[in-house]
Structure 1
């Protein structure tokens, strides 16, 4: 529990430092920030997690539309 609290405190302090250093206001990145930033990594993590739960997973990417 204490480790989690310290991690949250560190995140808040880091955000405040960046806001003060760069003179910008806070803006929420969103819950899907890391998925948008690196979708391949998010897919690998999802497949790994499903494998750990006992599922065999194959990915078949959708064709791009537009």
Structure 2
């Protein structure tokens, strides 16, 4: 199967936390993976937004 997207994110939403995994990189190589956990407070959600935007 041929890769079509250079970046993607998955969110596992819980009551107090959100676990986020992003995969990124060139389409012809294995993607890099980063996993972070954020709180569901306003500060945590803003941090999640900043992390995904960067």
Q: TM-score, normalised by structure 2?
A: 0.20
- If you compute each CA radius of gyration, which structure gives the higher value, 1 or 2? 1
Higher strand proportion (structure 1 or 2):
2
- RCO higher in structure (CA 8 A, sep ≥6): 2
